[in-house]
Chain A
Amino acid sequence: MAEDLNCTVLYDLHLSLGAKMVPFAGYEMPVQYPLGVMKEHLHCRAGAGLFDVSHMGQVLLRPISGDVADAARALETLVPVSILALAEGRQRYALFTNDAGGIIDDLMVANRGDHLFLVVNAACKAGDIAHMRKHLSDVCQIEEITGRALLALQGPAAETALAAIAPGVAAMKFMDVAVIASGFGELWVSRSGYTGEDGYEVSVPEDRAEAFARELLAQDAVEPIGLGARDSLRLEAGLCLYGNDIDTTTSPVEAALEWAVQKVRRTGGDRAGGFPGADRILQEFETGATRRRVGLLPDGRAPMRAGTPLFASAEGGEAIGAVTSGAFGPSIEAPMSMGYVSVAQSATGTTIYGEVRGKRLPATVADMPFRASTYKR
C-alpha cells in the first residue's frame, strides 16, 4: 500500500473478500469484488449491497448554547438550505456554496435533538471542517468523528438484513435518522443512501465495524459492492458525484439542484439569502442560468463518458457543453450520461450530439433518474 494513502478500518476485510483496491479521494478503496461491477450493480437492485463509505467525513455540530436551533441558524449562513425547519430525527441534502455561487461540497445534515450530524465527501472533508471552524466556531463546537466507520446497506433486502441486527430500523422512513443500541455498539442509522434504492447508512464504532460487516455479509441476500458499481448505481439514480457533476464552478441552479434550496431561503422567503453566493444564486432562480445539468441517453450503445464534448448539430458549430459522468447502466441496459448543455438544448427530448472518437453520435436529453428510485417514503 502506498504510504500517502489512508485506509479504512475495513481494509483487511476488503482484501479477504478478494477486492481490487484503487486510490480514491486519498484512500485505498475497493473498486470491485470478485462478482464484478455489473453483477454487483444488479445484485444491489435485487437483494442488498454493502458499501464501505468510511472514507467520508462524519462531523458533529454542537451548539455552545445547548439549543440546536442556534447550530441550525449558524449552518444556514453556509448553505442555501433550510436547516431550522429540519425536525429532530430527520436528515436532508445540503450544499456548501462559495462567494461566487459555486458548490464547495454536497453533504447530508441530520438533526439529532441537541446537535447536528453531518456527512461530507472524503475529498472535501478537511476543507469543509476548516470552513466550518472558521465561520461557525463562535456558535458551535465542530467535532470530527474519527472513531467510527460508515457503511451503506442498499437495496430491497436492506431492511430485512439490517433489522436482523437492529429491529428498530424497519419502522424508519426515507431520511429518518436514529441512534440505536445493538450488539455492535451504538449505531447511528439513517434511512438513506446514494443508489436510488431503499436502504441505510450506518455509522458504527470502529472496533466493531468488521464484525458488524461480517454479520451482514453472512446473510444470503447481502454482497459487498465496490466503488465501480456505486458509480453506475448513483448515475442511474440521477445523483451528482461531487468533483464530476458539481464543483466550485457550478451553481445550484446550473446543476438543476433547485429542489435542495427550500422556498424559505429564496427571494421572498422569511430567511431569504444570507449564504455565500446568494446574490448570484437567487438571481438565477429569477432569470435562469445559461447552462443546465441534464440527463442524456445515447441513441446507440456506445457510452459517452466524462469529458465527451456535446454539440447542437451533427456537423459544425461550437461545443454547447460536455458530459460530466457517463457509463453503461446495467439496470436500464443502456448507456447513460449526465452533463451540462446550453439552456437552449436542455429541454427533455432534445437531440444533441456527443463526439466519441471523432464521430458525433446522437443522444437524447432525458429526465432523471434514469431508473425510478425506490425510497421508502
Chain B
Amino acid sequence: MKFTEEHEWLRVEGDLVVVGITEHASEQLGDVVFVELPAEGTEVVKDDEVAVIESVKAASDILAPVDGEIVEVNSMLEDSPGKVNEDPTGDAWFFKMKVADLSVLDDMMDEAAYKAFIG
C-alpha cells in the first residue's frame, strides 16, 4: 500500500489503483456523515477535486492522487458514510482508477514513511 501527503492510500489491484483515506485521516475528520463520489468514467488529473467528504466538523475535498480515469466508485459510502470511520482502509475505499503508468506509485510513501510523516 502507498500513501500520499493528502492522507490517501493507494492499493494496486490488477491493472487498477484503489483509493481511500487513511485511518489517521478518518480519525482527524471525526464522524463522517456524507460522501459525494465522482461519476464513473471521469478523466482526472492529479490534484483534481474528485470527491467530497463531510464529517460532523467540516467538509473536505478528496484529490485525485494520480492522473487517470475513475472506473468504479464505492456507492455504498453514499448510504453508509460512517463506514469511512469503521473500516477506512478496507470496505470504505472511495474509487478505483485506471492509470496509464503504475510506476508513478513508486515514488510515493510506503507505510513506514507515512507513519513517520504523520508523526
Contact = CB atoms under 8 A, between A and B. Distances in A.
Interface of A: 32, 36-39, 228, 232, 301-303, 305, 327-328, 330, 335, 357
Contacts of A327: 56
B30 interface: yes
A303 B58 CA distance: 10
Contacts of B82: 38
Interface in B57-110: 57-59, 78, 81-82
Contacts of A39: 31
B34 A301 contact: yes
Interface size class of B (residues with CB under 8 A): 10 to 19
Given A36-B31, A328-B34, A232 B56 contact: yes
Contact of A303 (B30, B31, B33, B78): B33
B56 A228 contact: yes
Contacts of A32: 30
17 contacts: A37-B30, A37-B31, A37-B57, A38-B33, A38-B82, A301-B34, A301-B78, A301-B81, A302-B34, A302-B36, A303-B54, A328-B33, A328-B34, A330-B31, A335-B34, A357-B52, A357-B59
A37 B29 CA distance: 11
> A232, A302, A330 — which one has the most chain B CB atoms within 10 A of its CB?
A302
Contacts of B57: 37, 228
The 8 closest A-B pairs by CB, nearest first: A328-B33, A38-B31, A37-B56, A301-B34, A302-B34, A37-B30, A36-B31, A303-B54
Contacts of B59: 303, 305, 357
A302 B78 CA distance: 10
Contacts of A37: 30-31, 56-57
A39 B85 CA distance: 12
A305 B34 CA distance: 13
Contacts of A330: 31, 56
Nearest to A39: B31
Contact of A328 (B52, B56, B78): B56
A228 B57 CA distance: 8
Nearest to A228: B56
Given A232-B56, A302-B34, A357-B52, 6 more contacts: A38-B56, A39-B31, A301-B34, A305-B58, A335-B33, A335-B34
A302 B32 CA distance: 11
Nearest to B54: A303
A302 B30 contact: no
A302 B54 contact: yes
Contacts of B58: 305
A37 B54 CA distance: 13
B43 to A, nearest CB: 20
Nearest to B78: A301
A305 B59 CA distance: 9
Contacts of A232: 56
> B36, B56, B59, B82 — which one has the most chain A CB atoms within 10 A of its CB?
B56
A301 B56 contact: no
Given A37-B57, A228-B57, A301 B52 contact: no
A301 B33 contact: yes
B36 to A, nearest CB: 7
A233 B72 CA distance: 37
> B33, B78, B82 — which one has the most chain A CB atoms within 10 A of its CB?
B33
Contacts of B30: 32, 36-38, 228
B34 A303 contact: yes
